[in-house]
Amino acid sequence: MIMTNLKDLQLNELEELLTGMGEPKFRAKQIFAWLYKGISDFDEMNNLPLSLRKKLWEEGLSPGTMEPEQVQVSKLDGTRKYLFRLGDGNAVESVFMRYKYGNTVCVSSQAGCRMSCRFCASGIDGLCRNLTAGEIAEQIIAAERDTGERVNHVVVMGTGEPFDNYENLSRFIKIINDKAGKNLGMRNITVSTCGLVPMIGQFAKDFPQVNLAISLHAPNDEIRSGMMPVNGKYPLKELIGACRRYTETTSRRITFEYTLVRGVNDLPEHAMQLAELLKGMLCHVNLIPLNKVKETGFDTTPKEEAEKFQALLEARNIPSTIRRELGDDIDGACGQLRLKGKK
């Protein structure tokens, strides 16, 4: 029997489902709340009649529980990396990280990725399929169930291109924001895109309070096209133009993710080109030390060179930070654990 994952449903859809089964509408709100408290079985929903709990299973409904097939735990900082095996055999991964301001989970939006960024492990085997809204949400709940700690922030920066799965991304955001369930504030959600330009304007319209991050990784078209095939379709002029319109429309700051790759995009002239590219924009540059992946052939920029790069940006009034490296002793890069799991 093909099961219906209740985590794929928004509250109003769950209400329609329950009333269609002859149940009172308020039962949907009870079930919705339970789904985001970490329960793994309908029998744990102890304020529901036993007859309803039995009926949910009989109707082919599921709480959408995913248990990790593998968990890697960093001995350095407690970062936890999860590999989940889906019902169809595909694998996805997520990461639980502790910060001073709270706990963050980085979730995947697709099994695989078709963007084929050269430095990233996620796209090595291409795109298998999109994740449903419930499969994205369950990565958060599974991390909370495993750690016993509340997740305060979510970043959609794991395997996959979120804007390539926009319908399910949108449903996911609405579901975890719902006060009846996870109740995660819009400003505590960040979505990262490699730069699908038409979707940036749509995202600004649909979710003006959700944080937007752009995977930039290069200061000019020549380097970016060599690292990220998407730049052939949406070159920097179009991408940066869309980003400027986004900040004007939403009055929200954009974060530009910039992975430093030794000898490729980390030279002083690259820092100066980047500062010129972003001049006058409401933005922040997140410099990311490359998490080395053997299959890509790229190497990491030394710490002192990264600091020089940052200093050049700051001197030109471009706010920037060098991202704190978490889970450095485990397969922390997007797609690494999933890639190993397929071998």
Of 93, 138, 144, 257, the active-site residue reads 93
Least Cα distance to 171 among 219, 199, 131 occurs for 131
**CATH 1.10.150.530 spans which residues of the chain?**
4-62
Of 117, 128, 283, 334, the active-site residue reads 334
Whole-angstrom CA distances from 211 to 53, 171, 186, 187, 202 are 38, 16, 8, 6, 14
In the predicted model, what is the mean pLDDT of residues 283-291?
Answer: 93
Q: Is 304 a catalytic residue?
A: no
* Angle subtended at Cα 290 by Cα 194 and Cα 110, rounded to the nearest 5 degrees: 40
Pick the CATH number of 68-342 from 3.90.550.10, 3.20.20.70, 3.40.50.720, 3.40.640.10: 3.20.20.70
User: What's the confidence (pLDDT) of residue 121?
Assistant: 84
Report the C-alpha gap between 135 and 6 in whole angstroms.
10
* Token pair in block for residue 302: 């030394």
| pLDDT, tens only, 38-66 | 898 999 999 999 999 999 999 999 999 99
Q: Residue 11 in contact with residue 36, Cβ under 8 Å? A: no
Burial of 343 from C-beta contacts in 10 A (0-12 / 13-18 / 19+):
exposed
Residues in the chain: 343
**CATH 3.20.20.70 spans which residues of the chain?**
68-342
User: What's the confidence (pLDDT) of residue 291?
Assistant: 78
| pLDDT, tens only, 66-76 | 999 999 999 99
Q: Where are the beta strands (DSSP E) in the chain?
A: 4-5, 61-62, 68-73, 80-85, 91-99, 102-106, 110-112, 127-130, 153-156, 189-193, 211-215, 254-260, 283-289, 320-322
Write the single-letter amino acid at 221.
D
pLDDT level of residue 79 (50, 70, 90 thresholds): very high
Q: Is 120 a catalytic residue?
A: no
User: What's the confidence (pLDDT) of residue 122?
Assistant: 85
User: What's the confidence (pLDDT) of residue 336?
Assistant: 57
pLDDT level of residue 124 (50, 70, 90 thresholds): confident
| pLDDT, tens only, 190-237 | 999 999 999 999 999 999 999 999 999 999 999 999 999 999 999 999
In the predicted model, what is the mean pLDDT of residues 115-129?
Answer: 90
pLDDT level of residue 21 (50, 70, 90 thresholds): very high
User: What's the confidence (pLDDT) of residue 233?
Assistant: 97
Report the C-alpha gap between 19 and 17 in whole angstroms.
6
| pLDDT, tens only, 295-343 | 557 899 999 999 999 999 999 999 999 987 776 777 655 555 655 555 5
Least Cα distance to 187 among 152, 234, 217, 137 occurs for 152
Q: Which fold has domain 4-62?
A: DNA polymerase; domain 1 (1.10.150)
In the predicted model, what is the mean pLDDT of residues 138-166?
Answer: 97
Report the C-alpha gap between 228 and 165 in whole angstroms.
19
Tokens 């799965």 belong to which residue? 165
Report the C-alpha gap between 7 and 46 in whole angstroms.
19
